[in-house]
């Protein structure tokens, strides 16, 4: 793939913008306390100043009706020289509607850290089109504002990817994980507590988070070591921009490690199969080196192996599952285009370059 401009690292004291470029739930009344916790938590842990983009907290209904305002917010944050990084408040499902209102040249001319996941996969492709590295990783509402506290795994991933220009190195599997929890209260011995009170605290160690032991990486097929540049993919969002100029060109997929969150999407095995077939038809797997995924159930494993073996004839393709970049806590950070090595025998993952300059 073409060489991407790598943004400068974030430093203590920097100004970071929080943006709602996809869904607008951060500004909704019921979600605003969670957003405020995420803001003060990020400020205190990383010692930065957080500002909202002009429309970030205008709510989900307003931002759905005004995709142009989401585009204006991105352009505003990029053009403001005092802002050193941009972090998405959440994902969503309609980033494609914002594309007519952005100028890729502005992205190219103002390279900055830009991070998010889920529907933000659309913006990973847009930044790649503009020639700038973006970062597939935590958003504000989750996992930065997760109940309890910001877990050490996610915090460390943010620090060494965005706040350090040293080689990222080994990405260990998380020792524990938990589903995303959107509830606003918890109960202990019959007493109910608010999860996001209006105070200055950034953690609540009494919060009974249902952590489960991690199970490590699992190699579904392949052997030995393989290297490639990592390209994060969340299927639905990228599916929506097929046929646009922003869908990655064939050279992006060549020698890539595709980080694809594959499952039976929308609870449908058939939908998951169709998603894989759409990407297969677009040729993304033809010259890729490997695929990494989150955890898969037996149905999803059966689907991806069927496509790889019988339809695109890639039984040689390395497939590793249970990597921590998906819709659960904790999360690592994947810098788009960074050189990654997969060791099927260990098994293990390593990023062989810094995330930022």
Residue 266 pLDDT: 63
CA distance 157 to 163: 10
Asked whether 84 and 112 are in contact (CB, 8 A), the reply is yes
Residue 265 pLDDT: 61
List, for residues 325-337, the tens digit of each pLDDT value: 999 999 999 999 9
The region, left, alpha or beta by phi > 0 then psi within -120 to 50, assigned to residue 217 is beta
Residue 264 pLDDT: 60
Residue 52, token pair as written in the block: 């909202």
Residue 268 pLDDT: 78
Residue pLDDT tens, the chain, 357 long: 999 999 999 999 999 999 999 999 999 999 999 999 999 999 999 999 999 999 999 999 999 999 999 999 999 999 999 999 999 999 999 999 999 999 999 999 999 999 999 999 999 999 999 999 999 999 999 999 999 999 999 999 999 999 999 999 999 999 999 999 999 999 999 999 999 999 999 999 999 999 999 999 999 999 999 999 999 999 889 999 999 999 999 999 999 999 998 766 667 788 889 999 999 999 999 999 999 999 998 988 999 999 999 999 999 999 999 999 999 999 999 999 999 999 999 999 999 999 999
Residue 262 pLDDT: 72
Residue 4 pLDDT: 98
How far is residue 285 from each of residues 107, 315, 316, measured CA to CA in Å? 28, 12, 11
- Nearest residue to 21 via CA among 80, 76, 63: 63
- Helix %, strand %, coil % of the chain (to 5): 30, 20, 45
CB atoms within 10 A of CB 223: 11
Residue 184 pLDDT: 96
CA 161 to chain centre: 13
Q: What are phi and psi of 87, to 5 degrees?
A: -125, 135
Residue 351 pLDDT: 98
List, for residues 146-188, the tens digit of each pLDDT value: 999 999 999 999 999 999 999 999 999 999 999 999 999 999 9
Residue 271 pLDDT: 84
């Amino acid at each position: 793939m073409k060489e991407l401009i790598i943004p400068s690292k974030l430093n203590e004291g920097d100004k970071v913008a929080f943006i709602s470029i996809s869904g607008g739930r951060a500004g909704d009344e019921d979600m605003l306390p969670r957003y405020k916790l995420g803001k003060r938590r990020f400020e205190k842990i990383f010692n930065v100043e957080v500002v909202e983009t002009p429309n970030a907290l205008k709510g989900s209904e307003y931002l759905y009706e005004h995709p142009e305002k989401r585009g204006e917010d991105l352009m505003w944050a990029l053009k403001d020289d005092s802002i050193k990084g941009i972090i998405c408040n959440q994902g969503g499902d309609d980033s494609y509607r914002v594309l007519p209102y952005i100028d890729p040249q502005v992205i190219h001319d103002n390279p900055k850290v830009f991070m998010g996941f889920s529907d933000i996969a659309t913006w990973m492709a847009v930044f790649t089109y503009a020639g700038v590295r973006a970062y597939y990783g935590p958003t504000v509402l989750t996992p930065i504002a997760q109940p309890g506290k910001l877990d050490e795994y996610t915090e460390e991933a943010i620090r060494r990817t965005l706040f350090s220009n040293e080689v990222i190195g080994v990405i260990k599997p998380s020792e524990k994980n938990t589903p995303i929890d959107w509830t606003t209260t918890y109960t202990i011995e019959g007493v109910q507590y608010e999860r996001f009170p209006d105070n200055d605290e950034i953690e609540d160690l009494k919060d009974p988070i249902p952590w489960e032991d991690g199970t490590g990486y699992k190699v579904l097929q392949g052997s030995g070591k393989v290297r490639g540049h990592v390209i994060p993919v969340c299927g639905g969002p990228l599916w929506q921009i097929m046929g646009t100029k922003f869908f990655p060109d064939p050279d992006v997929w060549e020698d890539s490690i595709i980080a694809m969150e594959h499952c039976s999407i929308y609870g449908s095995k058939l939908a998951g199969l169709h998603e894989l077939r759409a990407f297969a038809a677009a040729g993304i797997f033809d010259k890729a080196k490997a695929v990494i995924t989150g955890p898969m159930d037996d149905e999803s494993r059966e689907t991806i192996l069927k496509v790889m073996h019988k339809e695109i004839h890639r039984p040689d393709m390395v497939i590793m599952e249970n990597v921590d970049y998906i819709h659960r806590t904790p999360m690592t950070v994947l810098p788009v285009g960074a050189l990654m090595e997969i060791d099927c025998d260990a098994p293990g993952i390593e990023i062989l370059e810094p995330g930022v300059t």
